[in-house]
Structure 1
Amino acid sequence: MEKVKREGFSSSLVVFFATLSSAVGLGNIWKFPYIVGQNGGATFILIYLLCVLGVGLPVMLSEFILGRSSKKNVMGAISDVTPRKFFKSVGIFGIIVAFAISCFYTAVAGWVYSYIGKAILGKFRGVDTVQAKEIFDTTTVGPLQPVLWQVVVLIVSSIILIKGVRSGIERVARIGMPILLGLLIACAVRGLFLEGGKDAIGYLFIPSFKDISLVSVVMTALGLAFFKLSLGMGTMMTYASYFPDDNNLLGNAVKVIIGDTIVSLLAGMAIFPSVFTFGGEPGSGPGLLFETIPLIFSKLPGGNVLIIIFFILAGLAATMATISMLEVPIAYLSEERKISRKGAVICTSIVVAVVGLLATLSANPQGLLGQKFIFKMTFFNFFDYISSNILMPIGGLLLAILVGYFMKKERIRHELVEKSGNSVGMMNLYYFILRYITPVLLIIVFLSALNII
């Protein structure tokens, strides 16, 4: 029987859009800009990019090397490097993390979908603070509404994923990322003409060391450099398995990191001028997205249209990030367990929907499962904490050790020098950082995430 050829991305531009769509998510919109502003503005961005060189870039590049050199899913890619059963935990961590994050991320994505509908129906016209809070509570408490919208997110994602790499993931990334960037730029330009535009620029870009410590800033930047880029969960490795052989892995990694940072700053320029104009709180977390933004945008001229545009771009970001996470277990099931792609998509989506009920119904303290069941945490917070603070850093550390100490250097050279066109000196610099600097920094990230240091 003839072996079916494995699908792959068609061009380097598609590779960039696809990997950027995996890195970009809802955190770009409400979390990153706030962290930048609270930790020294432009100074923090510089420190963050330096931390990326020690943590984010080496781990991302390692995932790229593993994925493209093997052309396999996370488990297959790791088995290609070493038969040691211990390192299978890297792949297992990736699959579990992608699954766990999908369980609560699809719940939040469902809220975004719901808000698109509400914005189109004009539900935010003239809302006050109390009404904005009531709308959010109605959306998240449920039980019917949040579960329904989470299922809608999974159906949309499943339809895209069933179509495969070229017709599904690639097409959405190729069309979705330019639309997202265009809408984001339009919102950012609109924001700069508001009264609070100057304050927003100052908040994001003017260096400030008031009430902050350098150690705190570095620790925050170090953690963000790892968590921000969808690392340690197998998404980048899985997407890299679809890369063409002539794609410059290092160049693409650098472009994704820069692009992700630019998207985050554009989001800040789109949101914070309105927040400062109307006296909102820039550090209100997810509440900024679902309560403050509808409240403030509704007060702007043309605000009803702006709210629709804003939540459409948030929905695009959420959908593309969801697709990348679901693809990790789907690729594993279809290639290692020999399940058809359609069957793997349906199986993964159903399990995420069922287990995700725990997260969906516990996201709001007033929800059906809003009580703190596990380690004084709700299921929603537990999924977030265990995946982000424990599994991802451990997975990233094991990945760095796997590539740095167990993968043949000739194979790394083949991917970075012969295929990608980078210099031997650049490869040696990456190899040195990966072996001797990245593991130490990842241990610091792990201990910091657990509040041990």
Structure 2
Amino acid sequence: MSKTEEFSNRWGIVLASLGMAIGAGNLWRFPRLAGQYGGAFLILWIVFLMVWSVPILMAEFSIGKKFKKGVIGSFGRVAGKGLTWGGFFITMCTLMIAFYYSVVTGWALRYLGLSAENLFDFFQGQNTLAADLQANPDYMEEFWQSIAYKSPWTLGLYVCAIFASLYVLIRGVQNGLEKANKILIPTLFSLLIVITVMALTMDNGYKGLEYMYSIDTRHFSNPTIWIEALSQSAWSTGAGWGLIMTISSYSREREDVVLNTFIGGFGNNTASLMAGMAILPAVFAMAPTEGAAIASLQSGNQALTFTIIPRLFATIPGGPVLSFIFFFAFFLAAFSSLLPMLELLISNLKDIGLTRKRAGLATMVCCIVFGLPSAYSLDIFNNQDWVWGIGLIISGLFIVIAVLKYGIESFKKDFIDTDSDFNVPVKFFKAALIFNLLLGVILIYWWMSQGYSEYPWFDADGNWNVFDIYSNASIITQWAVIVIIGLILNNFLYKKFVK
């Protein structure tokens, strides 16, 4: 069943690509890594954009554009009947992320509400967040814990985020997704510019910028920075998610694959740099010493965004305004990325004959039900982020394998070069994909060999340690369930989604 919907022009698909790529990770993960490793991280991050993310995104974009189906249908067409289950894995991996990512959007709404209350109190001359922090220095940590576990606010707001997303998507591609992105993405970039300018004008703010772009060559001998740079590029640009495959299935017939891929990739990196140029100067300006600033940046994703940033903004003149702008931008980034995640399931359901409205309602129910555990407990959220974040590397490898099976040179000629005025050498494309195949395998092996859990495989009693948040047993078990289901349903998936 071919799609009849499509974006009205190039800007429609460009903004959708940017909305897919620019998400919460740009504002809560990238600044921490840039602050931790400085310019050495930035160099590797840009290298992996070109080597890992861009080639995989080009493959995804061209596959979706050619076959005009959801991920399972499009992947099955290029990979063949025997590997259709790979498209199922990609779909399920991204959906599992969408289920807990909707919770992040709910958190963003809660902090936007907190910032709005603080801003109102500031203009009314009443006690602001600064007064609460002065009375109780642990106020932000306690506030974060109150919404991370068993919080009615979190449960309610993440459901609201899903309702809002589906309201937009049910309206269709042009009237829903395209119109929303025409508002969301320009507004997001405008807010990032405002935050950046305000942060750079702070006393000592320039130190954060200097640190961000300084290059310490000793970092290059640390394998962790290589992993962090690759993972940030892959997860932030959306390489391997199947999202750009979904978006491009609504593209016009003569849409430039390479140009659109580069615009999306470099647009995402630009947003990340702007976020770093906003947050790092703020951290350095407020910290008593440079060491304290670096320690803040290394304290973890949630801690940086939800405890340290509000505390920093509360201590500077005009901080309530800056805090409101930051969390408004954070919400827009999270919401704009949630839309294509949910569209991925809608697109697949449409392939088996459901109307957009019915597919949207089914998606809403699935997201609410399967997102509840992550909304209820931060431990479950962290486990899902751990398992399926790494799973995206597997998804990327499936894209690479599909292209290798088809034949790299033939794939580039038949899928990418057809309508691309802007081109890349076939030798580069071929070398990158082969390198990525080896890199992905090495990366997963290295990751699991680190032992992030005290008992990576078996607990102290010798039992399979599947319920540990960061255990390898939990990762392998959840991956295996999806793979086994995909293999069992492979023939059914091929008949329903591909043929």
> Which residue number in structure 1 is paired with residue 210 of structure 2?
202
- Closer, same or farther: CA 325–354 of 1 in aligned 2, 3 Å: same
- Closer, same or farther: CA 408–430 of 1 in aligned 2, 3 Å: closer
Q: Where do 5+ consecutive residues of structure 1 fail to align?
A: 364-377
> Which residue number in structure 1 is paired with residue 402 of structure 2?
402
Q: Say whether the 8 Å CA contact 1:65–1:412 is kept in structure 2.
A: no
Secondary structure in 2 matching 1:142: coil
> Which residue number in structure 2 is paired with residue 93 of structure 1?
89
Q: Point out the more displaced range, 272-281 or 430-439.
A: 430-439
In the alignment of these two chains, the number of paired residues is 431
Q: 1:321 is matched by which residue type in structure 2?
A: S
1:137 has 2:145 as partner? yes
1:150-208 superposed Cα distances (whole Å, 9 cap, x missing partner): 10110111111111111111111121111100000111011001113111111211112
Distance 2:70 2:195 in 1: 38
Secondary structure in 2 matching 1:126: helix
> Which residue number in structure 1 is paired with residue 416 of structure 2?
416
CA RMSD between the two structures:
2.1
Secondary structure in 1 matching 2:402: helix
> Which residue number in structure 2 is paired with residue 48 of structure 1?
45
Secondary structure in 2 matching 1:266: helix
1:322-357 superposed Cα distances (whole Å, 9 cap, x missing partner): 111111111101222x11211111111111111211
Q: 1:393 is matched by which residue type in structure 2?
A: I
Give 2:373's match in structure 1, choosing from 316, 339, 358: 358
Distance 1:297 1:417 in 2: 49
> Which residue number in structure 1 is paired with residue 32 of structure 2?
34
Q: 1:79 is matched by which residue type in structure 2?
A: G
- Closer, same or farther: CA 449–241 of 1 in aligned 2, 3 Å: farther
> Which residue number in structure 1 is paired with residue 332 of structure 2?
316
Q: Point out the more displaced range, 51-60 or 180-189.
A: 51-60
Q: 2:265 is matched by which residue type in structure 1?
A: I
The alpha-carbon deviation at position 5 of structure 1 amounts to 5.8
1:346 has 2:361 as partner? yes
Distance 1:130 1:58 in 2: 46
Q: Say whether the 8 Å CA contact 1:55–1:442 is kept in structure 2.
A: no
Secondary structure in 1 matching 2:129: coil
Name whichever structure is richer in helix by fraction.
Answer: 2
1:123-159 superposed Cα distances (whole Å, 9 cap, x missing partner): 6353313111222222223331110011011011111
> Which residue number in structure 1 is paired with residue 279 of structure 2?
271
> Which residue number in structure 2 is paired with residue 293 of structure 1?
309
Q: Point out the more displaced range, 219-228 or 297-306.
A: 219-228
- Closer, same or farther: CA 131–37 of 1 in aligned 2, 3 Å: closer
Distance 1:327 1:278 in 2: 41
Q: With structure 1 as the length reference, what TM-score do the two structures score?
A: 0.89
- Closer, same or farther: CA 432–94 of 1 in aligned 2, 3 Å: same
1:389-432 superposed Cα distances (whole Å, 9 cap, x missing partner): 1x321221121011122268555324432311245xx3513441
Distance 1:131 1:396 in 2: 41
Give 2:349's match in structure 1, choosing from 333, 342, 350: 333
The alpha-carbon deviation at position 80 of structure 1 amounts to 2.0
Distance 2:203 2:91 in 1: 46
> Which residue number in structure 2 is paired with residue 451 of structure 1?
449
Distance 2:190 2:239 in 1: 26
Distance 2:314 2:156 in 1: 26
Distance 1:5 1:96 in 2: 21
Distance 2:153 2:8 in 1: 39
- Closer, same or farther: CA 451–222 of 1 in aligned 2, 3 Å: farther
% same residue: 27
> Which residue number in structure 2 is paired with residue 440 of structure 1?
438
> Which residue number in structure 1 is paired with residue 464 of structure 2?
none
> Which residue number in structure 2 is paired with residue 371 of structure 1?
none
1:291-311 superposed Cα distances (whole Å, 9 cap, x missing partner): 111111122222212211111
Q: Point out the more displaced range, 130-139 or 410-419.
A: 410-419
Q: Say whether the 8 Å CA contact 2:403–2:411 is kept in structure 1.
A: no
The alpha-carbon deviation at position 452 of structure 1 amounts to 5.7
Distance 2:444 2:249 in 1: 27
Q: Point out the more displaced range, 208-217 or 247-256.
A: 208-217
The alpha-carbon deviation at position 288 of structure 1 amounts to 1.2
Q: 1:343 is matched by which residue type in structure 2?
A: R
Q: Say whether the 8 Å CA contact 2:63–2:74 is kept in structure 1.
A: yes
Distance 1:88 1:5 in 2: 20
Q: 1:130 is matched by which residue type in structure 2?
A: D
> Which residue number in structure 2 is paired with residue 21 of structure 1?
19
Q: Say whether the 8 Å CA contact 2:3–2:68 is kept in structure 1.
A: no
> Which residue number in structure 2 is paired with residue 383 of structure 1?
384
The alpha-carbon deviation at position 81 of structure 1 amounts to 1.8
Q: 1:161 is matched by which residue type in structure 2?
A: L
Distance 2:354 2:85 in 1: 22
Distance 1:125 1:172 in 2: 35
Q: 2:88 is matched by which residue type in structure 1?
A: I
> Which residue number in structure 2 is paired with residue 156 of structure 1?
164
